[in-house]
Amino acid sequence: MPPKIVPAKAGQTSSKTPSRNQRAQKQQPVSTADRLKRLFTSLCAQTDGGHFANAIRTCNKILRLDPSDRDALRTKLFLLLQTEQYDAALALIAEIDEQRSFERAYALYRIQREEDAAQVLKEIRSNGKEVEQRGAMHLEAQLSYRQGSYQSSLDIYHELLETADPMSDEHADILTNLSASQSHQDFITTTFMQCMSQLPSSIASTLESAPPPVLFQSASILPSVEEPGKKPEASETTKKVRTKRVPKGVIPCVSPLPDPERWLKKSERTTYTHAQGKKRRGAGGGATQGASVGAESAPVSTPSQGGRAGGKAKGGKKK
């Protein structure tokens, strides 16, 4: 017989199953310092892997726990600039207590606010640090190039080229931008004038006296104005055949349609029953074996008994 199971008494707990107090002690909430440590570990991995959108979410989680964390604020600002969220970056710069003039100037430059960016760059050149001043010089050269001041851009790039390391990436970038500024400056000062001198005097005078061309906005940018009494015309749209639903080897509008009764049994199809009816109607039309014409006038011949007996006594004596 199997051993009897003795029930545990009230108030006693098994040594294998933990009590409620032990479970409560094990499932204690994680401290804020540990959560911040885990979040910063995830933030480093996301930034190194280029997952900037997830990294911004991680920064927001860190700032919810510690709104004054400088590292999280700086990282979020860097990520916003990398993801081209310049309006959000400017809003974050306004919230940060510390000075972020270069980042502010760069964001203003990218959202086409050149005058504000130039004002911030002047402040950096006069009061900024050496590292910020070098970055401000690069940004000022690009701003001058955008505004058409190619000579000013050339002067700044020449100044940067003198102090740049020949083996650095900065040196290669300066040479590229310097070549672009030089080509535009040469076109304005020499190439354009040479082309104008080669034209006939009548054409040259007409071009010089003509007003500058006006840039018209494209039709896609202008708002569409509709007449109040005019109804919008329905645009003619042709339905495209969805190739995913067309079986392989079938050409739409060319291949014959499939049999609608292909799902029925063969004996239940219309073509099968029609063919069987034809066979039945044609069965009585021709003369078959055993049929007789005029059965009333001529008696039906029956085989003789001798024939049957002869058949049976095939192996008998010969007479």
Tens digit of pLDDT for each residue in 135-169?
899 999 999 999 989 999 999 999 999 988 989 99
- pTM score of the predicted model: 0.55
**Alpha-carbon gap, residue 78 to 82, rounded angstroms:** 6
Measured distance CA(304)–CA(311) in Å, rounded: 11
What is the reported pLDDT for 290?
A: 46
Contact 59, 75 (CB under 8 A): yes
What are the structural domains, with CATH classification, of the chain? 30-98 (1.25.40.10), 112-197 (1.25.40)
Residue 230 to residues 25, 119, 222, 235, Cα–Cα distance (Å): 76, 51, 19, 15
pLDDT at 124 > cutoff 90 = no
pLDDT in the model for residue 217: 53
| Helix boundaries (H) for the chain | 20-26, 32-49, 52-65, 70-82, 86-95, 101-110, 114-127, 130-147, 150-163, 169-186, 192-198, 201-209, 270-283, 305-312
Cα radius of gyration (the chain): 49
Q: Taking Cα atoms as reference points, which of 106, 44, 46, 91 lies closest to residue 71?
A: 44
Residue 302's region, left for phi above 0, alpha for psi from -120 to 50, else beta, is beta
Which of the four pLDDT bands, split at 50, 70 and 90, describes residue 190?
confident
* Alpha carbons 317 and 319: distance in angstroms, whole number: 6
Identity of the residue numbered 119? Q
28 phi and psi angles, rounded to 5 deg: -80, 145
Half-sphere exposure of 141 (CA within 13 A, CB side): 24
Model confidence over 68-91: pLDDT tens digits?
899 999 999 999 999 999 999 999
Q: How far apart are CA 207 and CA 197, in angstroms?
A: 12
pLDDT range class, residue 229, cuts 50, 70, 90: low
Question: Is the confidence at residue 14, as pLDDT, over 60?
Answer: no
Q: Which amino acid is residue 243, in one-letter code?
A: T
Task: Kindly report, residue by residue over 31-63, the tens digit of the pLDDT.
Answer: 889 999 999 999 999 999 999 999 999 999 999
Structure tokens at 67: 């709104």
pLDDT of residue 145: 93
Structure tokens at 43: 């933030």
Say how far apart CA 75 and CA 63 lie, in whole Å: 11
pLDDT tens-digit map of 274-317: 777 666 665 555 444 444 444 444 444 444 444 444 444 455 55
Tell me the three state secondary structure of residue 242.
coil
Rounded Cα–Cα distance for residues 96 and 74 (Å):
9
- For residue 293, what pLDDT is reported? 47
Q: What is the pLDDT of residues 231-287, one digit of tens each?
A: 555 555 566 655 567 777 777 777 888 788 888 888 888 887 777 766 666 555 544
More confident residue, 25 or 154: 154
Of residues 274 and 223, more confidence is placed in: 274
% of the chain surpassing 90 pLDDT: 37
